Amino acid sequence: MTFDLLIKNATVLDPSRDIYEKKDIGVASGKIRSIENNIPDNNAIDIIEAKDKIVIPGLVDLHVHVWWGVAHLAVEADPYCLDRGVTTAIDAGSSGSNTIAGFQRYVMSKTKTRILAFLHISGMGQLDNEIGELEDIRWARVEDAIEASTLHSDSIVGIKVRLSEHIVGKNDLIAFERALQVAKEIKKPLMIHIGGSYNSLEKILPNMRSGDIVTHSFTQKPNGILDNKSKVKDIALDAMKRGVIFDVGHGQGSFSFPVAEACMEQDVIPGTISSDIHKYNARGPVFDLLTTLSKYIYLGLSLKEVIALSTYKPANAVNLNDNIGSLKIGADADIAIINHIKDGRFYFEDAEQNIRNGTELLVPIVTLRKGERFSPKHSVHPQLTHKP
């Protein structure tokens, strides 16, 4: 067979298939066609030499904001996702029932990055930074959300609600109940944003189902998953045992090294790792998903573990594991070629300006989306090498 593209001499890491060894990968017509120990060079039109590089499935970022030009916090998808190793970006509530059609027409259909969405229970989505989208609970319209989710079922993977008091006021329980009602009706997961809610998690988590998602799980804000003695609350442990997914969702204000470290000491690790990339954190402290993964390598997870938590596990979370998050034969050729720097000096910052000194960093080299090449404008973000 003749391949459009051949990746040679790579260390292939695909946790979904338990592969971590030197392999060649053949790509034709935008699909992965062969993964072998040695594929002859004369079988390929184009070749990428990947010796000393790690080849992984294209990353799946479960929490981004890319409704650019409408949602106040959104960035353009391709420069901040596709160029940085993320081939599937899942927007977490930038659009609601009033705006999802525009998001699909003007962003999802135009970008190279595969974009999917959690639909916000608020019809406006996340339009404004000063006025919370659910301060007026009339924006949480169940029937409208169900209708939009049905019309755009190919793009919508679940329902999102933000529960912080500055966003929803004292309406958090009502907003949660309406969002959960829609999620149940469309038979898709609910993602809740925690931290700083008016009501405690004890009134929220028991109602979440297996497969529902808590994002910003390692926030330092009040009503998080730690008690006042830095112990993981029983209510959170019960939800984890029940199959609720606890996602990182780093963001500008929602990831704390002390919280994550306390959780790691109690053997509580994320169910998925996402960046929550948006315009307020794209130049720090988040930068991109690979930097977020590097922070968890610093915290003690292995390379294989962080890649699993950002490929097939988020794909499973939104029931899309048939075609994304894996290097299986016949899947779209969504592939990230990365470098694993192991002897550097990097300054990792959380959302509270806590600094940790790391020696390992994952950086993008080349990303393939259905076999098409994309390269980053830079590899290591300069700010990571200079102490803030």
Helix, strand, or coil here: 34?
A: strand
- Mean pLDDT in residue range 215-230: 97
Please indicate whether residue 368 or residue 377 has the higher confidence score (pLDDT): 368
Is residue 127 scored above 90 in pLDDT?
A: yes
What digits encode the pLDDT tens for the residues 233-249? 999 999 999 999 999 99
Helix, strand, or coil here: 383?
A: helix
What digits encode the pLDDT tens for the residues 26-83? 999 999 999 999 999 888 999 999 999 999 999 999 999 999 999 999 999 999 999 9
What digits encode the pLDDT tens for the residues 133-179? 999 999 999 999 999 999 999 999 999 999 999 999 999 999 999 99
- Residue 96: what are its φ and ψ, rounded to 5°? -125, -170
Is residue 232 scored above 80 in pLDDT?
A: yes
The answer to whether the CB of 200 falls within 8 A of the CB of 226 is: no
The answer to whether the CB of 158 falls within 8 A of the CB of 118 is: yes
Pick the CATH number of 58-317 from 3.20.20.140, 3.30.300.30, 3.40.50.300, 3.30.465.10: 3.20.20.140
Topology of 3-56+331-350+358-385 in CATH? Answer: Urease, subunit C; domain 1 (2.30.40)
pTM, to two decimals:
0.97
Query: Under 8 Å CB-to-CB from 49, ≥6 apart: which residues?
Result: 8, 9
Domain boundaries, the chain: 3-56+331-350+358-385, 58-317
Burial 299-337 (b: 16+ CB within 10 A, else e): bebebebbbbbbbbbbbbbbebbeebbbbbeebbbbbbb
Q: Tell me the three-class secondary structure of 303-315, residue by residue.
A: HHHHHHCCCHHHH
| Residue 322: per-residue pLDDT | 79
Q: Count of CB atoms within 10 A of residue 175's CB?
A: 24
24 pLDDT tier (thresholds 50, 70, 90): very high
Is residue 370 scored above 80 in pLDDT?
A: yes
The answer to whether the CB of 90 falls within 8 A of the CB of 157 is: yes
| Residue 17: per-residue pLDDT | 94
Percent of the chain with pLDDT over 70: 100
- Residue 310: what are its φ and ψ, rounded to 5°? -130, 15
386 pLDDT tier (thresholds 50, 70, 90): confident
| Residue 379: per-residue pLDDT | 86
Q: What is the CA 137 to chain-centroid distance, rounded?
A: 28
